[in-house]
Structure 1
């Protein structure tokens, strides 16, 4: 068998222009051969250091193809994804990904991730037009499989391409994220620093947008020399543009980390994935999973907003949750600097348009241990301005935007102005979120001076209070240092909303007594 190694920089079809595909469940899927012998380096792309080693390029594989044996192709169109919260009409969907015999957990894991990609494209972009997903096999041996998915997206802002690379640990029966190639969060932070150094002189890159979070580092693999290739979607590292999504024009950005430099940062899976990426085996035999595998460790890039050293319901502990609405804003990084200096955790309730234009700030909020939440897509009175049929899109948008940038699934939702209804609350619950109002209104939105904002917050504070603030307001930024100082003098611990509540159930509204109610004891 001759090698079919390809390289991922080769063009993929424009979204929506490939042949229509039909979703093929289980045994009806198409069988394809997986040749894995030799290494052909004659192709033009083979010498490109930022190209992942690709064993099989499945781009454009159609139903009915019988070129390969040992792999099946699952395909789908818009009708294959009929249970998403928001399904705009007329959006073309064309997806394909491989299944491997004997690796059913990987098939299920890829299916879930493709489903998330489709749902988040539908809800988290403006006027979506078309999405296609194609696949490549980046690694294959008896213990490790790697699959790179290439997304081609079109919406009102134009065309762009995105990437994610997924890994399968056959022994553990575990579908892993790309960040699990690394040993731990500290290793990911080191990689983030190395990438920043490499891209520091690139004028098309805002290095502050580089944050060690799952959603950004979702495509990593190895090139033909065993170096670690880190790649980023079109526009993910572009400088922020006020009122507009960052430009996708610079295209794919990548960094290549030397094999020897990266070696001590790799997990056991990462070491084996690198070996599998360079494999020249002639056949695929996936090892049986251990019937009693060890539980996977924490996933690098997944950040918790909980302070495990604080129990808000322990006698004598006084917690307070500072919440900031209407961002992210161009001055939010200044607020984040203050919170970092003071070691304060907060919760941020985001709106759709700011979230689209400031994705790097969203990643920073998450990376620094704050809680990300939704404040609806458009900042409008939901019961007054939207019909029940319009609510799913409004509720789903920010959640999708946040997941696309960070990998985090939003669990909290605050309706603008605190204006809710039975229909709004029901939709929030159906999308897996709890409704969060507040106990204390700082009244910063009424254009009061900073001193009055401070007085309102401090006077109203009780244990487990949720405080309403707005990070785009200058008076709030001016008041924040004194709020922190005075509440800390009263022995308050600053925690996320979820921690102050002791958890929040989807479909429920907090505080239980409504706006301004005292916190639950």
Structure 2
């Protein structure tokens, strides 16, 4: 996508400058300028999923007039997931859970309860390794496919949605996703609930960014997030926001037919 265009332009500019260096006496220092521009764009594109630098990622719905949002939870299932499910049920809301394969193996009953409660299930790789951004295309495909197979085994559905660990995308990950045909789901509100410990600050960070068709990223990995979720529903009800499933917000199919 944008990465391919930027790379082609970089190569063309580099060739032109190289010719200038040899024929016009340009300083070879000028060759570094397009390189650093390309490198900066590539690094930014890798860590900012909303930039759609390597491939398309859904990060917000298109209906910007209706007060609807979607809640998404990463890194589960965990021992904290049942409380999250209870809060969602209490508020008659459906969310999307991007699950890690090894966590599904650890908490199969909680995973099945999540699906049976009417929530959507997405793929979040098997190991959620901090080295994921350095994996080969083949290794990433394995991480995705093995998780999809486990999901199919446990709840008999094949999910078509994927969220990359840490939101990082690079050429290897993009190539893997082009092969597995998963839709990439990002966000426009990142709670940082794994690093912000103050519940009030966490709630204010989320509520201060909410707008129609937002996708909120949280994690079902702590009581802190559950506490904030309860307060978030109070805010949403006060502001007349409705929580809708991700497939309704984005108008996409989540599972294979």
Give the structure-2-normalised TM-score: 0.70
> Residue 362 of structure 1 aligns to a residue in which SS?
helix
- Name the counterpart of 2:225: 476
Contact 1:321 1:464 in 2 (8 A): yes
> Residue 225 of structure 2 aligns to a residue in which SS?
helix
Superposed CA RMSD in Å reads: 2.1
> Residue 484 of structure 1 aligns to a residue in which SS?
helix
- Name the counterpart of 2:90: 341
Contact 2:160 2:182 in 1 (8 A): yes
Contact 2:135 2:172 in 1 (8 A): no
> Residue 467 of structure 1 aligns to a residue in which SS?
strand
Please state how far the C-alpha of 1:469 moved relative to its aligned partner.
0.4
Cα 1:316/1:351, change in 2 over 3 Å:
same
Mapped pair 1:439 → 2:185: no
> Residue 446 of structure 1 aligns to a residue in which SS?
coil
Answer 1 or 2: higher relative contact order, Cα 8 Å, separation at least 6: 2
Instruction: Identify the structure with the greater strand proportion.
Output: 1
Contact 1:442 1:467 in 2 (8 A): yes
Cα 1:478/1:388, change in 2 over 3 Å:
same
Select 1:320's aligned residue among 64, 69, 87: 69
- Name the counterpart of 1:497: 246
Contact 1:433 1:505 in 2 (8 A): no
> Residue 408 of structure 1 aligns to a residue in which SS?
coil
Q: Which runs of 5+ in 2 are unaligned?
A: 1-60
- Name the counterpart of 1:363: 112
> Residue 378 of structure 1 aligns to a residue in which SS?
coil
Distance in 2, Cα, partners of 1:354 & 1:504: 24
Mapped pair 1:453 → 2:173: no
Please state how far the C-alpha of 1:465 moved relative to its aligned partner.
0.8
Distance in 2, Cα, partners of 1:476 & 1:454: 9
Select 1:401's aligned residue among 145, 150, 155: 150
Cα 1:447/1:315, change in 2 over 3 Å:
closer
Distance in 2, Cα, partners of 1:329 & 1:471: 7
Distance in 2, Cα, partners of 1:427 & 1:384: 12
- Name the counterpart of 2:169: 420
Output one character per residue of 1:146-184: Cα deviation in whole Å (capped at 9) or x when no partner. xxxxxxxxxxxxxxxxxxxxxxxxxxxxxxxxxxxxxxx
- Name the counterpart of 1:10: none
Please state how far the C-alpha of 1:383 moved relative to its aligned partner.
5.2
- Name the counterpart of 2:30: none
Distance in 2, Cα, partners of 1:323 & 1:434: 15
Q: Which runs of 5+ in 1 are unaligned?
A: 1-311, 507-521
Output one character per residue of 1:356-385: Cα deviation in whole Å (capped at 9) or x when no partner. 111111111111111100111111246533
Distance in 1, Cα, partners of 2:147 & 2:237: 32
Distance in 1, Cα, partners of 2:203 & 2:72: 14
Contact 2:73 2:97 in 1 (8 A): yes
- Name the counterpart of 1:485: 234
Contact 1:328 1:355 in 2 (8 A): yes
Cα 1:382/1:396, change in 2 over 3 Å:
farther
Cα 1:500/1:366, change in 2 over 3 Å:
same
Distance in 1, Cα, partners of 2:160 & 2:208: 29
Contact 2:102 2:127 in 1 (8 A): yes
> Residue 68 of structure 2 aligns to a residue in which SS?
strand
Contact 1:382 1:424 in 2 (8 A): no
- Name the counterpart of 1:462: 211
Give the structure-1-normalised TM-score: 0.36
Cα 1:396/1:382, change in 2 over 3 Å:
farther
Cα 1:384/1:423, change in 2 over 3 Å:
closer
Distance in 2, Cα, partners of 1:450 & 1:498: 29
Contact 1:391 1:424 in 2 (8 A): yes
Distance in 2, Cα, partners of 1:443 & 1:492: 22
1:151-170 correspondence runs (5 A)? none
Select 1:374's aligned residue among 107, 114, 123: 123
Please state how far the C-alpha of 1:471 moved relative to its aligned partner.
0.6
Contact 1:322 1:466 in 2 (8 A): yes
